[in-house]
Homo-oligomer: A and B are copies of this chain.
């Protein structure tokens, strides 16, 4: 056991009172997923994660996954048992189609389950996460035969899945990949090449691993247009459905990383491995985006989840650590009584609440975009998902770094000692800003692909939606006055910055890209402030609810003390590209050019 306390109550509060889960539960196909049922599941999942998975987190960090001399990969002590229990309980299948053994629950509930898994053990959570990405790609693009062959055991979790994109010279630029796929007479393909950074690329948790591999057929067009996606199982399947001989894929390395040691990040070598084409040739990028878009929100959720775990630990430390005497105290005080420690706690707590609401809002929109009977409603929800996804990914993972740093800081010197565990959270979460598209790529996606949707109308309509809260805030009286004022000011700035982006974009795309990261951060701050304001408004009618009681102070702290950062970011978002390109590489390295020189 650890002292991890699954934040099920706040998840339920956010679903019920902030992101409109009731709309989802009314959608055709989700009738069984009413809030009571969903909350019951989350409570069970929370208990499971606290009791079974959370205790593996520390051993996972200390031992790490390892590559054995015989080429097999062993996960840390406890992972195998925890994964078996996870499969047995069926948590991974909850949001997946009933046709393949799933529970047909909404994405919103699936994401909440992911959050709880990530809080328990981020490294462990990657195995089911990657499997789910592979499942989604197969659901969208697989043939009926492929679905029947692979999905049931992937949905149950008995088989794991992976995503094989990156190669040494093809990271952010996926189009540069060179892994070859040569069609054979029997219709299968021979896959040859090397893939790196493959999360859970090999392990001992499941009998079979289903790799989805991006590769290039011999006559394929250059770049991203010539990429195809293949199923390449670790073991070939016999005709009777039993597992056959080893396929031509081997682990040649497991990376030594700063964090998530329990997750084996593999270098995989494919040597004429048998692959089965998904969809048609050259559809690979489209399939990849199905996997990626869902994964990106999940990665943002990692930032939130690890921050939550670290926050709980720092709060406990701050409550128990007696050190010095606070102003007005008559005896030595726990450090939680010191204002600056309070600032670190409130900053963590309110950002975490904002992020949780943002991730769930995104998931609710995914559910609407897939299940709503009205096509226009589906289309609009899809636009909102497109807008929110890069924000969730980047803002969530950036804050993951910043908030775990605050949690570590609260521990003082103990935070830097590995035994305390605070450092592990800080190290683990650092990858989230990098993988599934670096945060810079997300910002480029926001201004490059998403901003232009309907010439900016998608963004402007979302801003208008956020403005609709103003009337309710006005009616709510003095207690909400500062929230209303700050939110209104920030929305003005967001709108003006968006207008600048739209007017600049056509003529000067480099200037728009130059401001993309600060612009994304502005979005994150404003959406977070809007959701906390909604959350606080809803709380007024929930007397006696412990979560409700904290919403107004949190929303006010966020509005008054965190949201004003928007004003500090607007100049950078709209500064254009001149300053960024004023110095060339030599000038940027002037200390290099001047080595040993006298001034």
Contact among B345, B405, B577 with A339 in the assembled complex (CB-CB below 8 Å) = B577
Interchain CB contact under 8 A, B312 and A591: yes
Interface hit among A135-143, A154-162, A166-174, A181-189: A166-174
Interface string of A502-542 (1 = CB under 8 A from B): 00000001100110111000000000000000000000000
Interchain CB contact under 8 A, A593 and B546: yes
**A358 contacts chain B at the CB level, 8 A cutoff:** no
| Binding site secondary structure of chain A | helix
Contact among B196, B332, B412 with A171 in the assembled complex (CB-CB below 8 Å) = B412
Interface hit among A77-85, A200-208, A368-376, A554-562: A554-562
**A570 contacts chain B at the CB level, 8 A cutoff:** yes
**A54 contacts chain B at the CB level, 8 A cutoff:** no
Q: Point out the residues of chain B lying under 8 angstroms from A175, CB to CB.
A: 324
Interface hit among A209-217, A287-295, A424-432: A424-432
Interchain CB contact under 8 A, A553 and B583: yes
From A9, A173, A322, A579, residue with most partner B Cβ within 10 Å = A579
Q: Point out the residues of chain B lying under 8 angstroms from A579, CB to CB.
A: 346, 553, 556-557, 560-561
Interchain CB contact under 8 A, A426 and B557: no
Interface hit among A251-259, A297-305, A465-473: A251-259
**Nearest CB on B from A400, distance (A):** 12
Interchain CB contact under 8 A, B571 and A560: yes
**A341 contacts chain B at the CB level, 8 A cutoff:** yes
Interchain CB contact under 8 A, A549 and B594: no
Q: Point out the residues of chain B lying under 8 angstroms from A464, CB to CB.
A: none
Interchain CB contact under 8 A, B8 and A596: yes
**A68 contacts chain B at the CB level, 8 A cutoff:** no
Contact among B324, B513, B568, B595 with A9 in the assembled complex (CB-CB below 8 Å) = B595
Contact among B16, B341, B564, B582 with A572 in the assembled complex (CB-CB below 8 Å) = B564
Q: A440-B338, A510-B339, A588-B349 are in contact. Are A561 and B550 (CB under 8 A)?
A: no
| Nearest opposing residue in chain B for A44, CB measure | B596
**A599 contacts chain B at the CB level, 8 A cutoff:** yes
**Nearest CB on B from A268, distance (A):** 15
Sample (25) of A-B pairs whose CB atoms are under 8 Å apart: A5-B592, A9-B591, A10-B594, A12-B599, A43-B598, A175-B324, A176-B324, A257-B423, A258-B416, A315-B585, A338-B440, A340-B444, A340-B514, A346-B580, A349-B583, A415-B434, A416-B430, A416-B431, A545-B599, A546-B593, A547-B590, A547-B594, A550-B583, A553-B583, A561-B571
Leading 6 A-B pairs by shortest Cβ distance = A568-B568, A9-B594, A553-B582, A565-B568, A340-B440, A173-B324
Extra 20 A-B pairs, beta carbons < 8 Å, given A169-B322, A340-B513: A5-B595, A7-B591, A9-B599, A171-B323, A197-B413, A255-B417, A258-B426, A328-B510, A338-B513, A339-B510, A339-B580, A340-B444, A409-B433, A412-B438, A416-B434, A553-B583, A553-B587, A564-B567, A564-B572, A566-B568
**Partner-B contacts on A (CB < 8 A):** 5-10, 12-13, 16, 39, 43, 46-47, 166, 169, 171-173, 175-176, 196-197, 255-259, 308, 312, 315-316, 319, 322-324, 327-328, 332, 335-336, 338-346, 349, 401, 405, 408-409, 412-413, 415-419, 423, 426-427, 430-431, 433-435, 438-440, 443-444, 509-510, 513-514, 516-518, 545-547, 549-550, 553-554, 556-557, 560-562, 564-572, 575, 577, 579-583, 585, 587-599
